A = this chain, B = another copy of it.
Amino acid sequence: MIKTFGKHYIVDYIGCNKDIINSIDDIEEIMISVAKQVNTTIISSNFNQFYPYGVSGVLIISESHFTIHTWVDEGFVAIDMFVCDLDIDLDKAVELFKQKLQAKNYKIKKIMRDNIL
């Protein structure tokens, strides 16, 4: 039986604020804040600071996951949002991240996760 299991937004942000995206505290706060503002339920939060620069982090949410990786020198941030609840407003989340990362621009790929071959 054909079924859709979730929607997945793959977002690359360009020209982000380098101080923000090198701060594990800022990045974790931003991820949790956006996840809550779009009404996901956070199960676990796991962030890691890389040296000399950069942060990686993951939220496992009831609805699947949010991930983030930052490249400080280049002002680049890669975010994934995968949610099994199709009503969650990921377009709102994309704009919230743009504001909070102070990104100049971004691009999105939107993918459905399904069993259609």
Query: Across the interface, which residues of B come within 8 angstroms of A48, CB to CB?
Result: 43-44, 60
Residue-by-residue, is A39-51 near B (CB-CB < 8 Å gives 1, otherwise 0)?
0000110101010
Q: Interface of chain A, helix or strand or loop or mixed?
A: strand
A3-52 CB contacts (< 8 Å) to partner B: 3, 5-6, 8, 10, 12, 14, 43-44, 46, 48, 50
Q: Which of B5, B67, B107 contacts A117 (CB 8 A)?
A: B107
Chain A positions near chain B (C-beta within 8 angstroms)? 1, 3, 5-6, 8, 10, 12, 14, 43-44, 46, 48, 50, 56-58, 60, 62, 64-65, 67, 69, 71, 74, 76, 78, 80, 82, 84, 105, 107, 109, 111, 113-117
